[in-house]
């Protein structure tokens, strides 16, 4: 049977029960069968991947211990540079441009001998408007979410065990919830952004969609760390994440009505997830929302629009007509934001980071629904990032994982939030939840 997870494939390789070429052939068969409907890829480089896998077939017989991501097929959102391949960011603005460098995460994955199959779809420049043609893995009449549309759908549909994505507002957590997969958005600066086309530099986070917590740990441990090419990365080495059975945790629920403004079925599944954690020994408490929450959320909008406009100003002066109408207007208005307004918004973010730390005085992690709804019908929009945006803004780590299915047959998600640099708390809570549920094991027909 096709190994759907990194961990399962790794175990097969360790026993020499399957070769990289054999594993790749199975994943390519899934892509051939499902891609005409899901449309997760902008480009596939199958010949290159097959040649790479054949080289690995020879290597694995001579190496006692293989790297964790050895021979694992994956996809990269089409804003990650991979040398010699086009990087087009879902936009006519840079159509046909070929990368001359590898993003740092792509380079690290090459060093692990992971198999890059191709680029996955994104909304235009990982931004507002211009949704891709990708469909939801569970129902092609619904959006997969965005902007990391193709990566989430590819993992959910079994095309690859993991795929690279980014989040500036909600582009990891929301697609994970909509497609029933798992994703850790690490603390800002944990994983290098070098070689990734930015949306908003002070807000962008890098990660990968996986099927479960075990795979999340394998990816994070291989990718996290300082990168001299990205000054925003932390200089101290991160402590590796581990899967462990821990003492019951305290889960905090913010008392703001902000996160109750969700579909009733989504809320019911969220309440059921909290009940599961409580039955596993966790204490569920209500946590006061620090004053200034709404102002901080508003500051995210100012910072993001300003930084998006700043990055695109060089293209915009010459190729404005090539942007989709929504993004074109978004950039145009962003260029009008004054320096004073931008600096004030950044000051609000910095101030609220300190205030928000008080929310963890009694709680180990916080919990919210991962999205206000299940995946909306149609492909014209990608759903609301409202429940993820506050935590992208703060830079704190979050974990999204499937917590059940609504009556429409679509998955919903639980979002867990930890203090800055406390990713291990999320792994502990997520591992406990997935040890007591099987939602992450469900796959679309």
Residues carrying an active site annotation? 77, 147, 171
Ramachandran class of 18: left when φ > 0, alpha when ψ lies in -120 to 50, beta otherwise: beta
Distance separating alpha carbons of residues 421 and 97, to the nearest angstrom: 36
Q: Are strands 182-185 and 205-210 parallel, antiparallel or unpaired?
A: antiparallel
Burial of 438 (0-12, 13-18, 19+ CB in 10 A): exposed
Question: Which pairs count as long-range contacts for 94-99, CB under 8 Å and 24+ apart, including other chains?
Answer: 94/315
* Helix residue ranges per DSSP H, 116-171: 149-156
Distance separating alpha carbons of residues 133 and 43, to the nearest angstrom: 13
Residue with tokens 């998006």: 308
Distance set, CA 441 to CA 181, 411, 438 (Å): 9, 12, 5
Q: What is the DSSP string of 325-381?
A: HHHHHHHHHHTT--HHHHHHHHHHHHHHHHHHGGGGSS-SEEEEESSSSSPPBSSS-
Residues ≥6 apart with Cβ < 8 Å to 295: 348, 352
> Do 168 and 392 form a contact (C-beta atoms < 8 A)?
yes
In the three-class reduction of DSSP (H, G, I as helix; E, B as strand; rest coil), residue 153 is classed as helix
> Do 10 and 72 form a contact (C-beta atoms < 8 A)?
yes
> Do 420 and 195 form a contact (C-beta atoms < 8 A)?
no
Q: Where are the extended beta strands (E) located within 172-282?
A: 182-185, 205-210, 250-254
Distance set, CA 45 to CA 48, 75, 116, 208, 344 (Å): 6, 10, 8, 20, 46
């Amino acid at each position: 049977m096709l190994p759907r997870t990194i961990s399962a494939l790794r175990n097969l390789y360790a026993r020499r029960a399957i070769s990289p070429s054999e594993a790749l052939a199975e994943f390519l068969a899934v892509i051939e069968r499902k891609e005409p409907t899901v449309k997760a890829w902008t480009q596939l480089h199958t010949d290159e991947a097959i040649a790479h896998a054949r080289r690995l077939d020879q290597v694995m017989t001579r190496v006692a211990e293989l790297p964790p991501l050895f021979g694992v097929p994956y996809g990269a959102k089409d804003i990650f540079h991979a040398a010699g391949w086009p990087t087009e960011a879902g936009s006519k603005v840079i159509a046909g441009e070929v990368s001359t460098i590898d993003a740092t995460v792509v380079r690290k994955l090459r060093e692990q001998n992971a198999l890059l199959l191709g680029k996955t779809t994104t909304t235009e420049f990982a931004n507002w408007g211009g949704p891709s043609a990708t469909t939801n893995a569970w129902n092609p009449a619904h959006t997969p979410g965005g902007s990391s549309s193709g990566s989430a759908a590819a993992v959910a549909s079994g095309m690859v065990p993991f795929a690279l994505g980014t989040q500036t507002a909600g582009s990891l957590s929301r697609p994970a919830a909509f497609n029933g997969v798992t994703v850790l958005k690490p603390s800002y600066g944990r994983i290098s952004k070098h070689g990734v086309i930015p949306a908003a530099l002070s807000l962008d986070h890098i990660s990968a969609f996986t099927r479960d917590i075990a795979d999340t740990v394998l990816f994070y441990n291989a990718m996290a760390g300082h990168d001299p090419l990205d000054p925003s990365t932390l200089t101290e080495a991160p402590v590796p994440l581990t899967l462990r059975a821990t003492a019951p945790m305290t889960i905090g629920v913010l008392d703001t009505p902000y996160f109750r403004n969700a579909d009733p079925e989504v809320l019911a599944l969220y309440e059921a997830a909290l009940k599961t954690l409580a039955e596993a020994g966790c204490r569920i408490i209500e946590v006061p929302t620090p004053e200034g929450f709404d102002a901080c959320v508003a500051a995210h909008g100012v910072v993001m629009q300003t930084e998006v406009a700043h990055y695109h100003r060089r293209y915009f002066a010459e190729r404005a007509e090539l942007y989709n109408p929504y993004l074109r207007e978004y950039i145009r208005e962003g260029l009008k934001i004054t320096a004073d307004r931008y600096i004030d918004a950044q000051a609000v973010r910095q101030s609220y980071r300190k205030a928000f730390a008080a929310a963890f005085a009694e709680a180990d992690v916080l919990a919210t629904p991962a999205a206000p709804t299940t995946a909306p019908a149609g492909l014209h929009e990608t759903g609301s990032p409202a429940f993820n945006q506050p935590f992208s803004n703060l830079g704190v780590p979050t974990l999204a994982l499937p917590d059940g299915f609504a009556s429409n047959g679509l998955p919903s998600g639980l979002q867990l939030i930890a203090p800055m640099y406390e990713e291990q708390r999320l792994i502990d809570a997520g591992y406990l939840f997935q040890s007591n549920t099987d939602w992450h094991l469900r796959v679309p027909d």
